Chain A
Amino acid sequence: MNSEIKTSNEDLSVSDPFAAAFVEEDVRGRSLWVDAWHRLRKNRAAVVSGVIMAFMLLLVVFGPMVLPWEADFTDWDNTSTPPSLETAHWFGTDAVGRDILVRTLEGGRISLLVGLVATLVSLVIGVTYGAVAGYYGGLTDRVMMRIVDIVYALPFMFFVILLMVVFGRHIILIFVAIGAVNWLDMARIVRGQTLSLKNTEFVEAARACGVTHNSIIRRHIIPNLLGVVIVYVTLTIPQVILVESFLSFLGLGVQEPMSSWGALVNDGAQDMESAPWTLVFPATFLTVTLYCFNYIGDGMRDALDPKDHL
């Protein structure tokens, strides 16, 4: 069949003398993504937040390897000591003599992991589900979105407690529980975007060129709604971290000896008067992270959608 399509350019004479005059290097295009990246780099709050988050990530990943303490090591000589350089417990210790710095960093691993994984799960499910519902429309759309409505109506805490009762407490369950709820919002946002995208002329042009439905969704719909999705993702990560902290604060989250920022804040809050450092340090890490993600999300929104927010 390929013989039908000629690839030699000899028969394609040039109708524009201008075009013939230049045969030079390919010009590099500047995609909308690159444009957005340049705008994002000009946003100081977002850049500073990004740097802090990168630093935080390194700290959380490599910190516990470098520090002399294990997270579950109990230093009986130094229980509830305030931060000091002499004891080498820079952030102090808790009531059973565990190093707060190591525990904060290890807790950060869990908190960030929950934030990233649960968001990723909701991203994959939500984008696929929403794009399919929006693109095919009609009855498919109505059935799929009613399912979303029904799941949405389940009370979240009830759902989590039920999962805990049935399967026992496990870190995976937290991913599942948060992911299962968060993809609903994502699906709704993506569906709305898809509905407006599928009536654009370039999608119609793709249909006229015989592009299959799957390729249209993959090549034309999803890249064009990714901007909105990325913004939503950066704003979902802190939200998920907060939900996990909330669950841990209620005692439904991670279990000892594992820890997360939420669990540490919970522990610290109980000794707040006698040992305030057990609360202050994990709470600071948690807050800084939440702020940073929100600033990055804001910056992304301005960068990716310059028309709406000037």
Chain B
Amino acid sequence: MSKPVLRVQDLAVTFSSYTGGLLNRHERQLRAVDGISFDLDPGETLGIVGESGSGKSTLARAILGLVKVSRGRVMWRGEELTGLDEEALRQKRKEIQIVFQDPVASLNPRMTAGDIIAEPLWTFYPNMERLQVEERTRGMMKMVGLLPNQINRYPHEFSGGQCQRIGIARSLVLNPKLLVCDEPVSALDVSIQAQIINLLKDLQKKLGLALIFIAHDLSVVRHISDRVMVMYMGQAMEVAEKASLYRRPLHPYTNALMKSVPVPDPKLAAAARQESWLKGDMPSPYQRPKGCIFHNRCPLRVKRCEADVPALRRLENGDWVACHRAEELDLSIQVPASG
């Protein structure tokens, strides 16, 4: 096995908010990411799924160093990123890049597509000649499937999918080694989603990128990931190889997410709906349940779940799961999940 490029160890991000007036002010802590650990090999793709509010995006931003990490570390090729000062971290940004969720909002409306893609080059190679920058920019546009002659157009003159291609071109222009995709397709319609995912897959193969791919939808992640991490309220519920996760989820929450994937066949959908057993909403992040954080929504809970916190542990097949009953439950998929 090759050495992992990225090691995330016990990473936690806490946000503070203040309630009350000037005098009786007190602080509330929101644990957005709470003790996440994983390794990522070069060229590997890790999919991260979870409901809205499960801390996926915050995790992505923490890896990039865009939010303050309150505990744990991020190791990039043997070097700790979390302790670096601003300038040193800035230098590392050449190697780790991010694609954002909202393709239109992530592009400055006052800059041309060419300028947006070229900006990282201006920043890191200020002495690069203008012609070279332009050539590189046009090359990137071609690579992500944009017409290079659209270099002078503005973001509002592109469609959502094209804007996302601009965002991808910008993130790849510096030849990064790791690309973090924060729900890159959830703002796009389905046919465009497939295009963007295939594009990312192609680029990954061509450039040897390691990829962290965040989505709230298991069917999207399935296409691109080697391994999948399932997150709930800032914690990892399960980290498993794609094949085994989609054949037999280990954690009831994973199973619940699987069941919530829409099924195009109405007969199968009716069967699936009967089985849909994710009840209620995620509890308030300020009042985390005792014991297993998922126990109050879990239909398979036992007494033990309400008291003991299940640790994320490694099973015989190498997958990780945080559930007391992982061995005894058989959550194999009967209903064929939609493509």
Q: Which of A's residues lie within 8 Å of B, judged by CB?
A: 1-2, 4-9, 12-16, 18-19, 22-33, 200-202, 204-212, 215, 219-220, 223-224
Contact = CB atoms under 8 A, between A and B. Distances in A.
A32 B156 contact: yes
Given A7-B132, A9-B138, A202-B105, A26 B152 contact: yes
B154 A30 contact: yes
Contacts of A204: 61, 66, 100, 106
B66 to A, nearest CB: 6
B100 A19 contact: no
Nearest to A205: B106
B105 A15 contact: no
Contacts of A26: 149-152
Contact of A29 (B100, B136, B157, B199): B157
Interface in B123-172: 123-125, 127-128, 132, 135-136, 138-140, 142-154, 156-157, 167, 170-171
Given A7-B135, A29-B153, A204-B66, A12 B110 contact: no
B152 A210 contact: no
Contacts of A211: 119-120, 123
B142 A14 contact: yes
* Top 6 closest pairs, chain A to chain B, by CB: A16-B145, A210-B93, A29-B153, A9-B139, A201-B106, A223-B110
A224 B105 CA distance: 13
B164 to A, nearest CB: 12
Interface string B102-122: 100111111111000001110
A209 B120 contact: yes
Contacts of B273: none
Contacts of A18: 145, 147
A205 B108 CA distance: 9
A15 B199 CA distance: 8
Contacts of A6: 136, 139
6 contacts: A5-B125, A7-B135, A16-B145, A27-B153, A31-B112, A210-B91
Given A7-B132, A205-B106, A15 B149 contact: no
Contact of A220 (B108, B125, B143, B174): B108
A209 B170 contact: yes
Interface of B: 61, 64, 66, 90-91, 93-94, 97-98, 100-102, 105-113, 119-121, 123-125, 127-128, 132, 135-136, 138-140, 142-154, 156-157, 167, 170-171, 173-175, 199, 202-203, 206
Contacts of B170: 205, 209
Nearest to B96: A208
A7 B142 contact: no
Most buried by A among B154, B170, B174, B202: B154
A212 B105 CA distance: 20
B183 to A, nearest CB: 12
A128 B93 CA distance: 28
A204 B170 CA distance: 13
A207 B147 contact: no
Contacts of A209: 93, 97, 119-120, 123, 170-171, 174
A24 to B, nearest CB: 6
B98 A224 contact: no
A15 B128 contact: no
Given A15-B145, A201-B105, A27 B121 contact: no
B186 to A, nearest CB: 14
A154 to B, nearest CB: 27
Contacts of A30: 153-154, 157
Given A15-B143, A201-B105, 11 more contacts: A2-B128, A19-B142, A22-B147, A29-B157, A32-B109, A208-B66, A208-B171, A219-B111, A223-B110, A223-B111, A224-B110
Contacts of B102: 201
Contacts of B153: 27, 29-30
A91 B175 CA distance: 72
Contact of B149 (A2, A24, A31, A208): A24
B98 A208 contact: yes
A5 B121 contact: yes
A4 B132 CA distance: 13
Nearest to B128: A2
